[in-house]
Homo-oligomer: A and B are copies of this chain.
Amino acid sequence: MFKFEVQFLGTSGAVPAYGRFPCCQLVNIQERLYMVDCGEGAQMRIAEYQVKWGKIGTLFISHMHGDHIYGIIGLLTSMSLNRRTQPFTIYGPSELESFIKHQLNFSGELLFPLQFQSVDPTKYKKIYEDEVSLVYSIPLNHSIPTCGFLFKEKERPRNMIAEKIKQYEIPYQYIPAIKDGANFQLPDGEIIPNKELTKPPLKARSYAFCSDTAYTEAIVPFVSGVDLLYHEATFTDEHKQQAIETMHSTARQAAAIALQANAKQLILGHFSSRYKILDALLGEAKEVFFDTKLAIDGLTISI
């Protein structure tokens, strides 16, 4: 099975507390690392969890609140001090480029090319593609323009049935086309349909990162059937009013989204600094959607 993992480098809300760092995650798809948000201390977590810096090629930023972006400048300068030369690309709000470049004016040149790609947070849209994955923006409903991100494995080709290669003496150069769906014609003209030669590939897996947001059912279609749903859960039921005022969600609301989206698994994060113990958040979510976990700094989940 190809690797598809999410590691949590920071799980706190706006103010870090109780060992929880501000929001930052690493998505690993077949040993390519995508960073999602970059709160203060991301580079210290990278050192602590022995993440290979060089494998991180792309950073996706959900919005301009400090607890999601204050770690970028330290990450970039340390990558440069570690002699990175390969390019690094940041997808995020259009203001981000000015925010980072002004800081870089004071710290000297980076050793590697830095690129910015502006993301429209109001649209569900494919924003990134490489050999192994696709990334889509998911519009959220927060106090400033904010989007989440949907990471999808690319569909893989169909798998050849080994015996059929022997049986029909299929030359190896035909195999890629057959894996992509072609039929095979025997020397006597008989056509063997693709279905008889191949098995369907494993289903492409997906991970949805729903960053800071008030409860909004508008996101359900975008995260429908996702294998792992991360949804912010800043507050318990007791502080539901505060969730409304600050445009965040309760754990129960996060679970309601997971239920409606028919997600396989839910993981909660972005916890308010008022909670030392998070049991209440987990309990309230599980009443609605049983397969729920709490994100913890350092935790890795395989999808």
What is the CA–CA distance of A77 and B15 in the complex, to the nearest angstrom?
A: 9
A71 beta carbon closer than 8 Å to chain B:
yes
Tell yes or no: A182 within 8 A of B by CB. no
Residues on B with C-beta less than 8 A from A21 are 44
A106 partner, pick from B14, B18, B95, beta carbons under 8 A: B95
A40 touches B71 (CB 8 A): yes
Q: Is A47 an interface residue (CB 8 A)?
A: yes
Is B107 within 8 A of A65, CB to CB? yes
The answer to whether residues A82 and B40 also contact, given A65-B107, A66-B77, A99-B103 and a CB cut-off of 8 A, is no
In the complex, A199→B209 CA distance in Å?
69
Contact between chains at B66 and A74 (CB < 8 Å): yes
A93-110 interface mask toward B, CB cutoff 8 Å, 1 = contact, 0 = none?
001000100110011000
Could you tell me which residues of chain A, from 203 to 238, have a CB within 8 Å of some CB in chain B?
none
In the complex the two chains form, is B44's CB within 8 Å of A81's CB? no
Closest B residue by C-beta to A44: B16
Residues 182-213 (chain A) with a chain B CB within 8 angstroms: none
How many A residues have CB within 8 A of the partner chain? 32
CB distance from A112 to the nearest CB of B (A): 15
Q: Mark A36-50, 1 if CB is under 8 A from B, else 0.
A: 000011011001100
* Of B14, B18, B43, B102, the contact of A16 (CB 8 Å cutoff): B43
**Number of copies of chain A assembled together:** 2
**Which residues of chain B are within 8 angstroms of A15 by Cβ–Cβ distance?**
43, 47, 78, 81-82
Interface centre among A14, A22, A41, A48 (most CB of B within 10 A): A41
- Chain B residue numbers with a CB within 8 Å of A48 are 19
Query: Could you tell me the distance between the alpha carbons of A102 and B99 in the complex, rounded to whole angstroms?
Result: 7
Whole-angstrom distance between the alpha carbons of A81 and B81 in the complex?
Answer: 33
Residues from chain B with Cβ under 8 Å of A103 in the complex: 99, 102-103
A249 to chain B, nearest CB (A): 18
Asked whether, in the complex, the Cβ of A107 is within 8 Å of the Cβ of B44, the reply is no
Q: A44-B21, A107-B65 are in contact. Are A74 and B81 (CB under 8 A)?
A: no
A73 contacts B by Cβ under 8 Å: yes
Does B16 contact A47, Cβ atoms closer than 8 Å? yes
Please list 16 pairs of residues, one from A and one from B, whose beta carbons are closer than 8 Å in the complex, sorted by A's number.
A14-B77, A15-B47, A15-B82, A17-B47, A40-B43, A40-B44, A40-B74, A64-B106, A64-B107, A66-B73, A66-B77, A95-B106, A99-B102, A99-B106, A102-B102, A102-B103
When A and B form their complex, which 6 residue pairs have the shortest distance between CB atoms, in order from nearest? A40-B74, A102-B102, A41-B41, A66-B77, A70-B74, A15-B78
